[in-house]
Amino acid sequence: MPNSVAAATPRPLSLWRRVTDWGATGFAILAAILVLVPLLAIFVYLVVKGFGSINWAFLTQTPKPPGEVGGGMANGIVGTGLILAVASVIGVPLGIGSGIYLAEYGRNRFGDVIRFTADVLNGVPSIVIGITVYSLIVVQQKHFSAFSGGVALGIMMIPTVARATEEMLLMVPNVIREAAYGLGIPRWRTTLSITLRTASAGVITGCMLAFARVAGETAPLLFTAFGNQFWNLKLNQPTAALSLQVFTYAISPYDDWHKQAWAGALILILLIVGAVAAVRIVTARGRLKGA
């Protein structure tokens, strides 16, 4: 049966097809490498430049007066944590809340307006948000504060969290909502305990993206949190932040400060990676087989 044999043995690919195959694969690999290079370069450079300056004093002490060697950024690390906590308390619930509205109730004109506003807000330069918060909160209260810095970063988180939440909720099939309604579960309960829960992995990713993005922001903190050479744990006082301190130290004339700026940048990155990883580990713990 010569026919079936012929069908079973594939004809060798033409030269042109092999060339385009290699070409396309090669291009994809090259693109992947090109994306990784700057990322790795930044990280390696930060480690090389900054790792040497990280020591116990750096992690536990406040800055020394200008010109003196030593001291650390402990207040900046704590301040960044404080500001990000405020930002998350504002950005995550408001973002998730508006995302829920957009996905579950906002299939209308008003929803379109909010969607458009969120996209515009996403594109507003961070320094503009800083100025706005400065005039709305700092000027009114007559002092810089961790709170105002957190508000500025929180506002920046809202559109990212909202749109991510919306997209993830829309991916939950409608039959899941119907199943819940069919059990006599009210709509608000269905949204919170069924739909949002089904989409939770994606919503958490959206929150982490927003968090990581604002964690390193400097511009909106310049005239809100302002920075501080000393310890501060009060929300209504000027507060140090790693990003601000890196900025101040990097443009200073002192060699020791330059080194500390590198170390501060490295710590900032590690803190972000650590926070994202921690959330991932905690949320993955409850995952079920086959979910």
Compose the 195-214 pattern: x for residues touching another protein by CB under 8 A, - for all others.
Answer: --xx-x--------------
Residue of 9, 175, 255, 285 that binds another protein (CB under 8 A): 175
106 phi, psi to nearest 5 deg: -95, 30
The answer to whether 172 touches 199, Cβ cutoff 8 Å, is yes
What contacts 265, CB < 8 A, 6 or more positions away?
Answer: 46, 50, 242, 246
Considering the rule CB under 8 A, would residue 1 count as an interface residue with another protein? no
Q: How far apart are CA 24 and CA 271, in angstroms?
A: 38
- Locate tokens 């929150």: which residue? 207
What type of residue sits at position 68?
E
Considering the rule CB under 8 A, would residue 28 count as an interface residue with another protein? no
C-beta closer to another protein: residue 179 or 233: 179
- Locate tokens 């309960």: which residue? 189
Shortest distance (Å) from residue 106 CB to another protein:
13
C-beta closer to another protein: residue 180 or 214: 180
Shortest distance (Å) from residue 188 CB to another protein:
10
CB atoms within 10 A of CB 179: 13
Considering the rule CB under 8 A, would residue 38 count as an interface residue with another protein? no
Residue of 38, 65, 184, 253 that binds another protein (CB under 8 A): 184
DSSP-assigned beta bridge partners for residue 86 = none
Residue of 19, 22, 178, 282 that binds another protein (CB under 8 A): 178
**What does the binding site for another protein look like in residue numbers (CB under 8 A)?**
107, 173, 175-186, 189-190, 193-194, 197-198, 200, 288-291
